[in-house]
Amino acid sequence: MLINTVAVLLAVSAGLMFGARTTGPHRWMLTLAPLLVVAAAFIGAIALGPTADWAGPIFGIVCATTSVLASAAVRRDEPAFRGEPYWRQVLMDPSGRYPAGGTQQNETGTTGR
């Protein structure tokens, strides 16, 4: 039980870091930090062996869910997401689909669907 609790706590912290968006010169730290957490969880699960049967699946599901929820919360002020309910934002964020009235700006600076 303690192993699974630690897996959930590590997964939530990694998911929050994966879902966050930062700018500035130190954004590489927010890219590296969750990878270190994932590596530590992976090494810990290998070291514990068969006593940690559910640690990997629990970690993966919780990390992915937390990342999507955090990303939707961060993107709530973007024009494509304004006025949309939170759960619709959660569904649109990983799928890349945006509401009919919203446009997304691509890398060249032009707007399109």
Q: Is residue 68 a part of any domain in this protein?
A: yes
Q: Is residue 59 a part of any domain in this protein?
A: yes
Is 13 in contact with 62 (CB distance < 8 Å)?
no
What pTM was estimated for this model as a whole? Answer: 0.73
Question: For residue 86, what is the enclosing H or E element?
Answer: helix 86-95
Q: Is residue 86 a part of any domain in this protein?
A: yes
Q: Is residue 93 a part of any domain in this protein?
A: yes
Q: Is residue 44 a part of any domain in this protein?
A: yes
Structural domain boundaries enclosing 62? 2-99
Q: Is residue 18 a part of any domain in this protein?
A: yes
Total domains in the chain come to 1
Where b means 16+ CB within 10 Å and e means fewer, 29-38 reads: eeeeebeebb
pLDDT tens for 41-76 read 889 888 888 888 888 899 999 999 999 898 888 888
Q: How many CB atoms lie within 10 A of CB 9?
A: 13
Structure tokens at 63: 């990390």
Q: What is the mean pLDDT of the chain?
A: 81
Q: Is residue 31 a part of any domain in this protein?
A: yes
Q: Is residue 112 a part of any domain in this protein?
A: no
Mean pLDDT in residue range 9-26: 87
Confidence of residue 113 (pLDDT cuts 50, 70, 90): very low
